[in-house]
Structure 1
Amino acid sequence: MLKKFYKIIIVPYTLFLLYLMFFGMGRVQYEDNLLTVEPIFSTINFIKGEISLQYIIVIVLGNIVMFVPFGFLGWIFPELKNLKNLLFTFVSGITIVEALQYFSRMGIFEVDDIIFNTFGVFLGFLLRKFVEKRFVDWV
C-alpha cells in the first residue's frame, strides 16, 4: 500500500522540488554564476549573518527534510535498496542539479546543499528500513 502511494507521489514531488530549486521562493536570475565550495563554513556564516531564526530553520532543515523521500527510491528501483548505490546515484544527480543552478544562474552551486540533501536521503533510507521492519503489512 505504501509502495503504491510512493510510486504515484514521487514524480510530482520531484517536479515540485525542482521548481523550488530553480524558481520558487522568489528566485531571480543572478547577474553572475555563483558557487560556494567551502563545506559547512558557508552555512555557519549564513547562520551568523541571518537575523531570522525561522528563515535559518527553513533553509537548513528544509535542505535535509525535503530530500528524505528519496531515501525510499529502493521501492521503485531495486538496485537503490543498497545504501552505497543510493548515495552514489543521489550525489551524482544532485550535483548535476546544483551545476544546472550554477550555469543557469537560477541558484548557487553550494557544496553544503549537496551535503544536507544527501543527509536527508540517508535519513530517508534509515526510515525506509524502519518502516519495512515495523509496518510489514503496510508496505
Structure 2
Amino acid sequence: MFLGFGRTVRHDLPMRYNLVPLRTVWYYLSAGGGPSLAARLVNLLGNVAVFVPFGMLVPLATGRLLSPIRLAVLFIPCIAALEILQMVLRVGSFDVDDILLNLLGVWTGFGLLRLYGITRIRRL
C-alpha cells in the first residue's frame, strides 16, 4: 500500500488529494486517454479486492456478525487514516474514491460470508 506498484517517496511534489466522490472512478471508466486498461483495472478492482478478506475475517474474528452500517463505521476511519498516511508520506494520494472502493470490498466480503449461509458466528 505504501511501497507497492512502483511507488516512491516524492518530497519534491505537493501532497495530492481528491475529495470529489466518484471523480477518479469516472476517470478510469471513461474511454478517453490516460492510463492503460490494465492500470485502470488494477486501481479499480484492486482497491475492492484487497479489502474483501476484511469483510469476512472481522466478523469471524470478533464472533459477531456486524451489520453493513457497523462495518462501515468501523472501517471508514481506518481506511481514511491509511489514505491520509499515503498523502502525508507522499507515497500516494488521499482519494475519497479509494475509501469508497475499499468499503465496497469490505461489503463484498461480508456479502460472501452471508451468501455462504453464515448467519450466526461462534468463536472458537
Q: What does 1:36-75 correspond to in 2, within 5 Å?
A: 36-47=18-29, 48-72=32-56, 73-75=58-60
Q: Would you tell me which structure has more helix in proportion to its own residues?
A: 1
Shift of residue 131 of structure 1?
2.0
Q: Which amino acid aligns with 2:100?
A: I
Contact 1:80 1:86 in 2 (8 A): no
SS in 1 for 2:26: helix
- Does the C-alpha gap of structure 1 residues 91 and 51 become closer, same or farther in structure 2, counting only changes over 3 Å? closer
**2:90 counterpart residue number:** 105
Show structure 1 runs of 5+ residues with no match. 1-20, 134-139
Does residue 126 in structure 1 map to residue 111 in structure 2?
A: yes
Pairwise CA distance, 1:90:
0.7
| Alpha-carbon distance in structure 2 between the residues aligned to 1:24 and 1:62 | 12
**Which one-letter code corresponds to 1:68 in the other structure?**
V
TM-score, normalized by length of structure 1? 0.74
Offset, 1:51:
4.7
**Overall identity of the aligned pairs, in %:** 34
Note if contact 1:75-1:81 (Cα within 8 Å) is conserved in structure 2: no
Correspondence 1:27 to 2:7: yes
Deviation at 1:79, TM superposition (A): 4.5
Q: Which amino acid aligns with 1:115?
A: L
In the alignment, the residues of structure 2 paired with residue 99 and residue 52 of structure 1 have an alpha-carbon distance, to the nearest angstrom, of 26
Where 1:81 maps in the other structure, the secondary structure is: coil
Partners of 1:42 and 1:59 in 2: CA distance: 10
Equivalenced residues, count: 115
Give SS of 1:26's match.
coil
Task: Please tell me the root mean square deviation across aligned C-alpha atoms, in Å.
Answer: 2.1
Specify every segment of 5 or more residues in structure 2 that has no aligned partner in the other structure, as ranges: 119-124
1:51-83 CA-partner distances (Å, limit 9, x unpaired): 521111111111111111111110001346332
